[in-house]
Amino acid sequence: MSSGPEHRSTLPAERRAHLLAALERDGVVRVADLTAELDVTAVTIRRDIGQLESEGLLRRVHGGAVAVGTPGAPAGRAPGPPAAPGTGPAPSATPSDTPGAVGPASSTGTIGVLVPSLDYYWPGVVRGMEVEARRHGLRIVLRGSSYDTTDERPTLERLARSVAADALIVAPRTDAGHGAEAARWLVDSGLPHVLVEREAALAPHREALESVVSDHALGALMAVHHLADLGHRRVGLVLSRQSPTSRKVAAGWRAACAELGLTTDEHFERLAPDRRTPEFAGVVDEVVETVVASGTTALLVHSDPEASAVVQRAVDHGLSVPGDLSVASYDDEVAELFSPALTAVRPPRAWVGRAAVDLVARRLADPARPVHRVAISPQLIVRESTGPAPS
């Protein structure tokens, strides 16, 4: 007899199916997430992961597992491309049932990848690329740029030449002064290319470049609606000044405020400088002071380190989290490690990387196919840092 849905122990077969489905969806699973989702111990999850690794269905890494080959797919079939938002897992695809489809290991070639950082956020994207590249028989050559780089054309030229790249996946500074020139260089290079977590269009007719992005605006909108559902009316926003993602997070936050009828008297917005600079601590202090003075009861903060700093400073000022102030983070890189564990929006990092490589493989197979722009929905992970608005 069941002890209730919230505490029901999951059967081994159900755990196996849940784990493999999560791995197919995200390209990576974490022990901490699965213990909460399945209501079992970490030892049980690690044992399950060990068994699936012995069957060749995944590869263990610190804290969880990553996909290998065609994880979770029925024998003899390969998983199809990442599912569109809201459609669930994609069915297996073959060249006969999908126009221009490319089956596993049906392509050969080298993809040059240029990302602005080799730590924080981007490793998850790159791991997704590697999983999908193996599926298509492609090779990834990774290079790091910098958020401070203004003209990335020389770096792109060196990357394409030095590795004899057949295609490029890049995350350029599209908001920088030379962003338009970098986009034009990609088109003029003649190499298949995909922008990852970036979008760009060429003048004068605004022809779009192929791209894969997380729907960050939707993620922010989801977070604000979660806070509003808890009764919060004064919902503030703190953004990372340097991140290109901040613009889309702000757009989603403003859209949610408009949908919920929150006026400018009921919310505030702040830009936080690089957390490694001396002025960061002062801005965090000012945010907490504004929270107290304005009666703000909830914040959406981008990203996890900034959110952790705000929570710590709020507690230092005598506020209870979430009793007096609910805080939701945007990124979910380390949000669950903080105390209290932070409610967070989790962008689909691995699937962004997988979708980018899938687009490249399809472009290599069919150069005449239309330009595709893919947006993948993030998830809202509710944890301990958000709760009902104080009465």
What's residue 149's pLDDT?
Answer: 58
* pLDDT tens, N- to C-terminus, the chain (391 residues): 434 433 444 567 778 888 888 888 777 888 878 877 887 877 788 788 888 888 888 888 767 788 875 333 333 333 333 333 333 333 333 222 233 333 443 446 899 999 988 888 999 999 999 999 999 999 999 998 765 656 788 889 999 998 899 999 999 876 656 678 889 999 999 999 999 999 999 888 889 999 999 999 999 999 999 999 999 999 999 998 888 899 999 999 999 999 999 876 677 889 999 888 999 999 999 999 999 999 999 999 999 999 999 999 999 999 999 999 999 999 999 999 999 999 999 999 999 999 999 999 999 999 999 999 999 999 999 999 999 999 8
Phi, psi of 238 (to 5 degrees): -125, 125
Peptide bond into 370 cis (omega under 30): no
Q: Are strands 207-208 and 167-170 parallel, antiparallel or unpaired?
A: unpaired
- What pLDDT is attached to residue 104? 41
Query: DSSP labels for 230-257?
Result: TT---EEEEEETT-TTHHHHHHHHHHHH
Q: Kindly list the distances between the CA atom of residue 361 and the CA atoms of 3, 68, 166, 210, 248, in Å, as whole numbers in the listed order.
A: 49, 18, 10, 13, 28
Kind plus residue range of the DSSP H or E element containing 383 = none
Q: What pLDDT is attached to residue 128?
A: 96
Angstrom distance (rounded) from CA 93 to CA 104: 10
Place of tokens 């070639």: 109
* Greatest C-alpha distance within the chain: 67
- Whole-number pLDDT of residue 34: 84
CA dihedral 391, 257, 221, 234 (to 10 degrees): -30
